[in-house]
Chain A
Amino acid sequence: MSMALLILILLVGGLLAWRSEKAQANLPRWVALATVVISLAFLLATLPQEHTGNWLQHMKLDWMPRFGIAFELAMDGVSLLLLVLTLLLGLVAIASSWSEIDFKPGLFHANLLWTLAGVCGVFLAVDLFLFFLFWEVMLIPMYLLIAIWGHENKTYAAMKFFIFTQASGLLMLLAIVVLAWQGMAINGQLSFSYSDLLGLELDPRLGWWTMLGFFLAFTVKLPAFPFHTWLPDAHTQAPTAGSVLLAGILLKTGAYGLLRFCIPLFPQASMEFAPVAMALGVAGVLYGAVLAFAQSDFKRLVAYSSVSHMGFVLLGLYAWNQLALQGAVMQMVAHGVSTAALFMLAGALQHRLHTRDMGRMGGLWHQAPRMGACAMFFAVASLGLPGLGNFVAEILVLLGLFAVQPAFTAVAALGLITAAVYSLRMLQQAFQGVPDKQRSMPDFDAREMLAMGAMMAALLWLGLYPQPVLDLARPVLEGLQTLVPPGDTVAAQAGGAAIVLGAGL
Chain B
Amino acid sequence: MASIWLIPFFPLASAVLLLLSTGRMPRQFAALLGAGSVGLAAVCVALLARAFLADQEVREVTLWTWMTVGNFTPRIAFYIDGLTVVMMSVITGVGFLIHLYSIEFMWEDESICRYFAYMNLFVAAMLLLVMADNLLLLYLGWEGVGLCSYLLVGFWYRDPNNGKAARKAFVVTRIGDTAMALGLMLLFTELGTLDIQPLLAAANSQWQTGDTLPILATALLLGGAVGKSAQLPLHTWLPDAMAGPTPVSALIHAATMVTAGVYLIARTFGLFLLAPPTQEAVAWIGLLTLLLAAFAALAQHDIKRILAYSTISQIGYMFLALGVSAFASGIFHLVTHAFFKALLFLAAGTVIHCLHHEHNIFRMGGLRTRLPVVFWSFLIGSAALAALPFTSGFYSKDAILLSAWEVPGIGPWLWAGGLLGALLTGIYSFRLVFIVFFGEAHHEPERQPGWKMALPLVLLCALALAGGLLVLPLAGVFPHTGHHQPNHLVEYISIGTPLLGLLIAYLLFLGRQVSIDTLVESPGGSALRDFWLGGWRIDPLYDALWVRPYTALAHWWRKEPLDGVYNGVVTVVQWAHHKLIATQTGELRWYATTMVFGLVLLVAIMLRNAA
Complex CA gap A397/B76 in Å reads 20
Stretch from B170-178, B245-253, B584-592, B598-606 contacting the other chain: B170-178
Q: Pick the contact of B67: A392, A424, A432, A499 (CB < 8 A).
A: A392
Complex CA gap A391/B142 in Å reads 13
Instruction: Verify A417–B175 contact, CB threshold 8 A.
Output: yes
Whether B381 sits at the interface, judged by CB under 8 Å, is: no
Instruction: Verify B160–A434 contact, CB threshold 8 A.
Output: yes
| B553: A residues at CB distance < 8 A | 290
Closest chain B CB from A127 CB (angstroms): 32
Q: Given A387-B144, A399-B188, A494-B190, A416 and B65 touching (CB < 8 A)?
A: no
Q: Pick the contact of B181: A291, A395, A501 (CB < 8 A).
A: A395
Instruction: Verify A467–B68 contact, CB threshold 8 A.
Output: yes
| A287: B residues at CB distance < 8 A | 557
Stretch from A84-92, A171-179, A336-344, A402-410 contacting the other chain: A402-410
Stretch from A4-12, A101-109, A365-373 contacting the other chain: A365-373
Query: Nearest CB to that of B554 among chain A residues?
Result: A294
Within 8 A of A (CB), among B541-569: 550-551, 553-555, 557-558, 560, 562-563, 565-566
Instruction: Verify A433–B139 contact, CB threshold 8 A.
Output: no
Within 8 A of B (CB), among A485-505: 494-495, 498-499, 501-502
Instruction: Verify B158–A398 contact, CB threshold 8 A.
Output: no
Closest chain B CB from A407 CB (angstroms): 11
Whether B409 sits at the interface, judged by CB under 8 Å, is: no
Instruction: Verify A413–B212 contact, CB threshold 8 A.
Output: no
Whether A322 sits at the interface, judged by CB under 8 Å, is: yes
Whether B186 sits at the interface, judged by CB under 8 Å, is: yes
Q: Given A229-B566, A466-B67, A495-B190, A413 and B557 touching (CB < 8 A)?
A: no
Closest chain B CB from A459 CB (angstroms): 14
Closest chain B CB from A373 CB (angstroms): 7
Whether B157 sits at the interface, judged by CB under 8 Å, is: yes
Closest chain A CB from B591 CB (angstroms): 31
Complex CA gap A24/B77 in Å reads 56
Interface residues contributed by chain B, number (CB under 8 Å): 56
Closest chain A CB from B69 CB (angstroms): 5
Instruction: Verify A467–B181 contact, CB threshold 8 A.
Output: no
Query: Nearest CB to that of B111 among chain A residues?
Result: A369
Complex CA gap A425/B550 in Å reads 14
Interface centre among A380, A391, A424, A425 (most CB of B within 10 A): A424
| B67: A residues at CB distance < 8 A | 392, 396, 465-467, 470
| B167: A residues at CB distance < 8 A | 421, 424-425, 428
Instruction: Verify A433–B174 contact, CB threshold 8 A.
Output: no
Closest chain A CB from B137 CB (angstroms): 8
Complex CA gap A494/B190 in Å reads 7
Instruction: Verify B558–A295 contact, CB threshold 8 A.
Output: yes
Whether B72 sits at the interface, judged by CB under 8 Å, is: yes
Query: Nearest CB to that of A386 among chain B residues?
Result: B140
Whether B150 sits at the interface, judged by CB under 8 Å, is: yes
Q: Pick the contact of A417: B65, B178, B188 (CB < 8 A).
A: B178
Chain A residues within CB distance 8 Å of chain B: 226, 228-229, 232, 287, 290-291, 293-295, 322-323, 326, 363, 365-366, 369-370, 373, 376, 380, 385-387, 391-392, 395-396, 398-399, 402-403, 406, 409-410, 413-414, 416-417, 420-421, 424-425, 428, 431-435, 464-467, 470, 474, 494-495, 498-499, 501-502
Instruction: Show 13 residue pairs from A and B whose CB-CB distance is below 8 angstroms, ordered by the A residue.
Output: A290-B557, A291-B554, A323-B72, A366-B158, A370-B22, A385-B147, A396-B67, A402-B186, A406-B189, A420-B171, A428-B160, A464-B76, A465-B66
In addition to A399-B189, A402-B189, A413-B181, 17 A-B residue pairs with Cβ atoms within 8 Å of each other are: A290-B550, A290-B554, A322-B70, A369-B23, A386-B139, A406-B189, A414-B178, A417-B171, A417-B174, A421-B167, A428-B167, A432-B157, A434-B158, A466-B66, A466-B67, A470-B68, A501-B182
